[in-house]
A and B are shown apart, each in its own frame.
Chain A
Amino acid sequence: QVHLVQSGAEVKKPGASVKVSCKTSGYTFTHYYIHWVRQAPGQGLEWMGWINSNSGGTNYAQNFQGRVTMTRDTSISTAYMDLSRLTSDDTAVYYCATYTSSWYFWEFWGQGTLVTVSS
């Protein structure tokens, strides 16, 4: 079965960067994109972008352009999301998600990684 396991919680200072990993198993990693979504405390879901797990191509939501970098390591079936110049507004749970049925909808999600930005 498909599993996405994310790295653990992080505490960062304003201005720092954070890198969240998403290790996948149970399917062919390079066949499906990985999407990243975040959720601030008590708030809704916000799509951040996607990475083509095969080519490494990316598409980022406008809100994050210039600050986010999505990469992958196909040898270990793992995707990464790097967010720089953190502010308190970036305090959120970050999720990776993927699919096997349709690129537009995501059946499989990681457990989430809480990133806290605090001085």
Chain B
Amino acid sequence: EIVLTQSPGTLSLSPGERATLSCRASQSVSSSYLAWYQQKPGQAPRLLIYGESSRATGIPDRFSGSGSGTDFTLTISRLEPEDFAVYYCQQYGNSLFTFGPGTKVDI
């Protein structure tokens, strides 16, 4: 099973600042099978980025993804108030889907 590790666990920032979230895999992951989700309290996850760097429908361009192999990054260029949430990376490999433990972005 491919294990995903996310850092930091919590990121404390202010609106307007840049957020950089890391996702590291225990073995190489195809970037085609790597995604990022946002989750707010009491809500279902929302797909943000898939295939490493493609934005899902309706996702603003301040969200971007990058990386390859075992290291992937989600960047939020300028935080808006609605961006404060928990972010999960997800991968598919060896017939399994796994999620990282999440990074909480708070004020």
What is A's interface to B at a CB cutoff of 8 Å? Answer: 35, 37, 44-47, 59, 61-62, 95, 97, 101-102, 104-107, 109-112
Tally of contact residues, B, Cβ under 8 A: 25
Select one of A46, A107, A109 contacting B57, CB under 8 A.
Answer: A107
Indicate if the CB atoms of A105 and B102 lie closer than 8 Å: no
Taken together as a complex, chains A and B put the C-alpha atoms of A106 and B33 apart, in Å, by 12
Contact B90 A105 (CB under 8 A): yes
Question: A-contacting residues of B (Cβ < 8 Å)?
Answer: 1, 32-33, 35, 37, 39, 44-47, 50-51, 56-57, 88, 90, 92, 95-102
From A46, A59, A62, A110, B99 is in contact (CB under 8 Å) with: A46
B36 CB, nearest partner CB in chain A, Å: 9
A47 and B97: CB pair below 8 A? yes
Given A44-B88, A44-B102, does the pair A107, B47 have CB atoms closer than 8 Å? yes
Determine whether the beta carbon of A47 is less than 8 Å from that of B99: yes
11 A–B pairs (Cβ distance < 8 Å), ordered by A: A44-B88, A44-B102, A61-B97, A62-B96, A97-B44, A105-B35, A105-B51, A105-B56, A106-B47, A109-B46, A112-B44
